[in-house]
Structure 1
Amino acid sequence: MFLMETKRIVVVILGGILNAIALNFFLIKANVYAGGFTGVAQLVSSVFQDFLGIGIGTGILLLILNIPVALLGWFKVGKGFTIYSIISVVVTTVFLEVLPVITVSDDIILNAVAGGVIAGIGVGFTLKWGASTGGMDIIAMILSRMQDKPIGVYFLTLNGVIIAFAGILYEPENALYTMLTLYITTRVIDAIHTRHEKVTAMIITRKADELQAAIHKKMVRGITIVPAKGAYSKEDKNMMFLVITRYELYDLEQIINETDPEAFTNVVQTTGIFGFFRRDH
């Protein structure tokens, strides 16, 4: 467990460093914006610098924006998830302030693509290891427990505001390049982890009762168990169906590995659900 937590912290730190590199080396100088709270901090910093002549670093603003969200997450989501989010935000803030803001390329398209790929790798691996980059991830986690409506609309709305202001305050092309960066970041995250709000896990196991008890000890989710038989071995097994949020995917993987390492699990995207989805996690 200690080794696993150490690895998770290392991944979170590396993810924060990659986010800082994407911003300072590619996006900031090009006036191309990232998504979520990072993009908001970047946009506010640009406005203060270019229109008011006040130099406030993106990292400092990112930290300030995340303080109330972290407090909310501490009480509404859980201490463990929030602690990793705080580590990610602090690391990103520190390296945004330490690393120089430079121009690697004068080609805005190359900046948009490179920044989007690097940021996507950082966020994707952070999510894959059961942590988050703070900001909208914590808000989405809270919303996913409060209601069964898609939370993607909140991401879309915030990113839409960032894109609009990028086009209004600077050149309209900046809005288009920001859209390109956000699209690439999302695709990279999808390739590494998943950006879908909910996923369905189908688990083939010999230890359905033990696995069910272990899952319910960690999370409150409905589970359907149906008999199954191996086509080759003719061995009687059980298939477990459950729908979870993407933030719980790491925890589910750890539970399965600890309870039944021989279980076979298929995780698929859930585009929509009808009926009751347990939300009192």
Structure 2
Amino acid sequence: MKIIGLEYLVFGVDDLDACTNYLLDYGLAPLGNGCFEALDGSGVHLRHCDDPKLPVAMETASQLRETVYGVADEATLQSIEAEMSRDRPVTRGDDGVLRCVDDMGFALGFRITQRRTLELQSERINAPGDAGRSVNQLGASKDMPALPRSLSHVVYFVPDSVKAEAFYARLGFVCTDRFVGVGPFLRPSGTLDHHTLFLIQTPPFMKGIEHFTFHMGGPSEVMTAGTRFVEKGYQSFWGPGRHQFGSNWFWYFNSPLGCHVEYDADMDLHDESWAAREAIPGADNSQYFLFSYREKWAPGGQPPPPAQ
């Protein structure tokens, strides 16, 4: 099944104004009707939590109502429909989205992808032995756009990660790496990204979304976008830093959507020849390094305050 990756996430929220401002400040572009998109057209849809058109809310406090994946073609939609119809209701809406509910209660949708193909350079670096940027081409600037390019991945809290993984295996997701006793990083067959979905074992009352993220053009864009976000008053939760599994740079922020929201960049790519690794969960295996944000400082002034 050629599932390419996440197309959009749907949230049912209490405070539409706060969530709208958050996504705009994060860098997504407004499309109207509560829809926001990255440069490739993937994005986030906001609805008020009482909107009757939303899928039924989970029994927990999670505000995520639906996860919609993009697929390559109609044949993939038909394959998904045939597989899912074996043991659960499946519908296809007027919007062309095929819908069902997974074994953990997450509402899922699948549609032929409407992502736009991006023709943008990634971040270039210069190093002895490899001049990556052209002569006189700046590596960074104060006015660099640093905009989200593509919806990268979503992380679920689930009460049974083994059962959840088995469900997504039916859709062609494969494990790329695993935290022992926690859960797998999963990649659908239509992408080489290290993961589109990460499952974290938690008690049932925590079931829901932990975070979602968009790919940026490189680590400087993660740092730039994150710094601008902090300067607008949003609270950093974790980062910036660089993960071990996936190798992606990261910076997480608190949000009014009831989950964390991340900027990420430079994720590993894997194919069928990759052998999944396993690691014990913990700080030593979660990141190679971690920075702590502080306000700008220059030599000659007062010493910078100690990190909190």
Please say whether Structure 1 and Structure 2 have the same fold, judged by a TM-score greater than 0.5: no
Higher strand share: 2
Give the alignment's TM-score, normalised by structure 1.
Answer: 0.25
Q: Indicate the structure whose relative CO is greater, using CA pairs within 8 Å and at least 6 residues apart.
A: 1
Q: TM-score, with normalisation over the residues of structure 2?
A: 0.24
Higher helix share: 1
